[in-house]
Amino acid sequence: MGLPIALAIESRGHEVKAFDVDAVVIRNLTERHHPFIEHDLKDYLDASRITIIPIDELVIWSDVILIIVQTPNGPEYEGVTPFPDERQPFDVSYLREATRNISEVLDRTRVRHLVVVVSTVLPGTVDSVVKPELSPYAVLAYSPLFIAMGTAIRDFLKPEFVLIGTDDPEARALSHEFYETLTTSPIVHTSIKSAELAKVAYNTFIGLKIVYANTLMEICYKTGADLAEVTNVLMHGHERILSAKYLSGGMGDGGSCHPRDSIALSWLAEQLTLSHDIFADVMVARQHQTAWLASLAIEEAQRESCSIVLLGLAFKANTNIVTGSSARLLQYYLDERGYAPKLYDPLVNGDDAFHFSRSVFVVSTNHDTFKELTFPRGSVVIDPWDIILEQSNVRIIRIGRQH
């Protein structure tokens, strides 16, 4: 990936030099050869002035340093063999070594440089692997790429968006300025940890879509439905399916249709002897996530020595329908573990009076009316939706949000 990206940056008027430990890579660049099929790469490579220089010279010469080293797995983790019983994270030894080598030079020169880590990593890797090795003269950003091999140059210069993860204003400003010289695409800023997760979330989301489409393909084959017609219907779902809806987090799916449809399709999967029942996976994940939320509420109730209150029984905001509600499933798990919660949903039971003592409150339905509630001093509010306003002497747990 490094060579296509270097060529793309050079094409925008930057002078680019590089370092690599692989003699084959160095020879390929010298001989203007690239072993992989990459759209337009030959034209860029023939016109390129990029040279390979020693790491010490490279760091001293540069203004911006991009670390684009591999973070590989063994062949058993590439998806070309059955899913292994033992899981492994990425190998970050190359990233650690590259960071250390760059930092040693920065420590000697004592000149501040923007260092951008591009390699794909898991959340927390920059904190645990890069930062301990990093020179204080490095201004750090994490900017993973959302490109496809084969069209890397085009994807880099005209991406859907650029993602920059930083943890300080200087890194944010410098990295933003740099990427503005490369593309006019939107630049999205996050923390480093959020950027780390967003990269692998993006890739695996695509995997989920493909698995779902292939499941429909198999069902169509076994029932006589037509895949193109079915997916064409889904492609018209711009309001709910092909949109940002349902990506903000909260409680599980509910209502009179969704859970029962997954259960019915799980039955059909068994009848058709599908290769895999992803509909059961969805329902099991839904119940595990709800059970985890129950455990979180119980843990807080034990810590605070107080009772649990569920705010909302309806399956979605601003309705009184409780059919298929994840809030009721949450109530089930709390009851099962001996922590029968108190219940408050003015749209369901018509009780507008909010009079509770200090408790652990779980916002189990995101009714608009809950946004204005004032909670007793010393209470804990578990808010999966991130809708509750800050209040003095009330601890709000905004699940997964760091603000």
Query: How does pLDDT run across 42-90, given as a tens digit for each residue?
Result: 889 889 999 999 999 999 999 999 999 999 988 888 888 888 888 899 9
Q: Which CATH superfamily is domain 283-398 in?
A: NAD(P)-binding Rossmann-like Domain (3.40.50.720)
CB 119 within 8 A of CB 91: no
The structural domains of the chain, with segments of one domain joined by +, span 2-195, 283-398
CA 115 – CA 65 distance, rounded (Å) = 5
Instruction: Please state, rounded to an integer, the average pLDDT across all residues of the chain.
Output: 95
Same fold for the domain at 2-195 and the one at 283-398? yes
The mean pLDDT value for 298-324 works out to 97
> Angle 107-111-113 (CA atoms, 0-180°, nearest 5)?
100
In the predicted model, what is the mean pLDDT of residues 201-229? Answer: 97
Q: What is the pLDDT of residue 22?
A: 86
How much is the pLDDT for 131? 97
The arrangement of secondary structure in 2-195, i.e. its CATH architecture, is 3-Layer(aba) Sandwich (3.40)
Residue with tokens 């390129």: 48
Residue partners of 83: CB distance under 8 A and separation at least 6: none
Instruction: Go through the chain and tell me how many residues it has.
Output: 403
What whole-number distance in Å separates Cα of residue 363 and Cα of residue 361?
A: 6
